[in-house]
Structure 1
């Protein structure tokens, strides 16, 4: 049999190409980033990773948000990907304790993440080990109407005592000192979380939401004692309105302050507020000298215990943690990078949030309905709303919450 030069050359090229193609490794990611902005952000991230690692082909399995909550419990045991999206803090704890997430402390150590991701390190650490990499969060705090402050002759407070003292001045001006819409319950959790973080600190708050501290503890009662100081100055019909309705009260100058997450800025501005009329402040200090913890729901990526390509999964986590990628990713998300060396645009609220969270030396809480179990979160937030309507029922509310905690602890 005779072969032409062209045929021999073609055969030689094919023999080289086949092994090269075979060497391309597969990396599978399961994610719920299905909304347009997160989807586009992750597509760009993956394209950059593949460009930097041409021997790796990334496959994405995309789920809707609600479906993912069920799916992750199934695929972690049955058909594990190499990487999976989830959340920090107590939300990741059950998977860690069940041995379903991989310890990635080596990724943190080898890439200096304990320094660059320091603000979120506590929420990624269990038993002294890190179990994933955080890539985005957003701040909570107090948004306020600058025009209302000016009209009432009130200065921005630094401490809770100053905040409470201001409430009487706003009341005299015919304005709600604090507004919220608790019809959907969850906005009350932001107020409780900050009051507890500022009264008792991050470690106590995490122990409480984990179910390790009784709700009848005097330190919990101290939190509600601080809350009771502003209940008379809070929008009276809060239980009948949604958070957007409360936002309208701030926009209209009928309320001075609103404890809320940064996602609400778009709603405030859609209502007509500008950077000149909308202000932001950290939640004020209550216990002097207590390390400042903040509320910042944090999205994360983890390596499941059943991952087939752990080496490249760790490469991906290191890539995701880099300042450049966190900057680019969060520009698309409209949220905040966690890497302290990343940068944010010229939006003053993102800049304020980046500074606030990057310097939080007391820890980062996730939010009550992430840090507590689903059942405890529901009962807890119902109790918070009831307390705001009927503060005199506090003892009965705390007894009810404690019964739930004790039952779940068993």
Structure 2
């Protein structure tokens, strides 16, 4: 083979580099992970992916949360990226219906995701198909004052009967069982969701969220029958609508209230307000009907591939990378949330460890009322639940009003 001149070799190398650069793909990734922690988590995921796939560059476009909600329909229709973040279950339904999400069922079947993401599978499924990758979630449950429970000789409740007994004991000692703040009304929806999930189950709950069941249905009435068992004896702090959820935390810290149904993000607020970690316990929402399979509240963020993405094959590689247990562990450690892959490494935080076990073993996951219901229905529902907590005697009027709103919303 004849020797090439140094000039020719150098020229060939430059041409080869230029050709490689020309063939390197750029994935466009739109996200609303604009807060520092989430933004850092996305950056870490992208950095790791680019190291694993040197010929694929990822360009991240970051939107603020509200701007993203306003822009997503437009950019999916007019100038779709290759990847984007959104929310699971009914919040992705309009995009699926309009043909704006790519069906990624083959990835679930090929890469073992049905086992690794078993608890998230139902929230990723519409029309029998999977529409994205669950990236992160966090648990809801009852946070309780371990020291107060120990002092009164009561145990964290596992059943509804035990919960009512604990509430009666706490009330008899001058301690309000539950703190809650509904100035922004969404915390009340956590109660409605959990009661419906425990009384009627996930399938019914999702039918209600989809507008297929009226709020005056006897099964919804039954949910409020159970809620009445807490509201009528005064087991919630009075005037809850005068407190934001954070403003109710001091009542919990001072021992004026002993429990708080909330997402795991509340723990940092509780500690910042003066509680030691050893004073806080966590327990799942109690069982009401043992025949109803376990379902938990776990708002889930997903990554999906738009239907008209330009680089779908590389986008699939990106999803597969984000699905890896070690990647899930790293990104969620930065987020301070839970990896959705049940094979990911457990976080060190005891509350996240409890949440990881809870959600990994749950039969189904709901996304929270204001994610599962359309915006107009969600607003009416949140307001209705807030009003119910303030005046349980208005229950029938509230449910009739929700029926009227439901008819309007789902007929559009």
TM-score exceeds 0.5? yes
Counterpart position of 2:328: 326
Counterpart position of 2:306: 304
Counterpart position of 1:405: 406
Counterpart position of 1:249: 251
Counterpart position of 1:42: 42
1:345 CA drift (Å): 2.5
1:341 to 340, 343, 364: 343
Distance in 2, Cα, partners of 1:55 & 1:186: 45
1:156 CA drift (Å): 1.4
Please list, as runs of the form range in 1=range in 2, the aligned pairs for 1:142-221 lying within 5 A after superposition.
142-221=142-221
Q: Is 2:35 the counterpart of 1:29?
A: no
Counterpart position of 2:396: 395
1:387 CA drift (Å): 1.0
Please list, as runs of the form range in 1=range in 2, the aligned pairs for 1:238-317 lying within 5 A after superposition.
238-317=240-319
TM-score by length of 2: 0.97
Residues 147 and 253, structure 1, Cα contact 8 Å, conserved in 2: no
1:152 CA drift (Å): 2.5
Secondary structure in structure 1 of the residue aligned to 2:78: coil
Counterpart position of 2:380: 379
1:170 CA drift (Å): 0.8
Distance in 1, Cα, partners of 2:103 & 2:19: 33
Counterpart position of 1:355: 357
1:160 CA drift (Å): 0.9
Residues 176 and 233, structure 1, Cα contact 8 Å, conserved in 2: yes
Deviations 1:125-169 (A, max 9, x none): 011110000110000000001122122222211101210122111
Deviations 1:34-65 (A, max 9, x none): 11111111111111101111121111111111
Distance in 1, Cα, partners of 2:237 & 2:157: 20
Which consecutive unaligned segments of at least 5 residues does structure 1 have?
Answer: none
1:14 CA drift (Å): 2.2
Residues 249 and 255, structure 1, Cα contact 8 Å, conserved in 2: yes
Distance in 1, Cα, partners of 2:12 & 2:395: 81
Residues 144 and 257, structure 1, Cα contact 8 Å, conserved in 2: yes
- Moved beyond 4 Å, runs of 4+: none
1:246 CA drift (Å): 1.4
1:19 CA drift (Å): 1.6
Distance in 2, Cα, partners of 1:359 & 1:152: 31
The 10-residue stretch of structure 1 (151-160 or 49-58) with the greater mean CA deviation from structure 2: 151-160
Please list, as runs of the form range in 1=range in 2, the aligned pairs for 1:28-107 lying within 5 A after superposition.
28-107=28-107
Distance in 1, Cα, partners of 2:341 & 2:115: 9
Deviations 1:237-257 (A, max 9, x none): 211111112111111111111
TM-score by length of 1: 0.97
Counterpart position of 2:123: 123
Q: Is 2:111 the counterpart of 1:111?
A: yes
Deviations 1:280-313 (A, max 9, x none): 0000001122100000100000100110000010
Secondary structure in structure 2 of the residue aligned to 1:235: coil
1:17 CA drift (Å): 2.0
Distance in 1, Cα, partners of 2:113 & 2:55: 25
Residues 368 and 377, structure 1, Cα contact 8 Å, conserved in 2: yes
1:11 CA drift (Å): 2.1
Distance in 1, Cα, partners of 2:382 & 2:7: 74
Cα distance 1:346–1:17, how it changes in 2: closer, same or farther (>3 A)? closer
Distance in 1, Cα, partners of 2:377 & 2:370: 8
Distance in 2, Cα, partners of 1:227 & 1:77: 43
Deviations 1:195-216 (A, max 9, x none): 1100000011111111111000
1:124 CA drift (Å): 0.2
Distance in 1, Cα, partners of 2:149 & 2:15: 75
Secondary structure in structure 1 of the residue aligned to 2:338: coil
1:329 CA drift (Å): 0.4
Distance in 1, Cα, partners of 2:202 & 2:255: 33
Which consecutive unaligned segments of at least 5 residues does structure 2 have?
Answer: none
CA root-mean-square deviation: 1.1
Residues 142 and 259, structure 1, Cα contact 8 Å, conserved in 2: yes
Residues 119 and 357, structure 1, Cα contact 8 Å, conserved in 2: yes
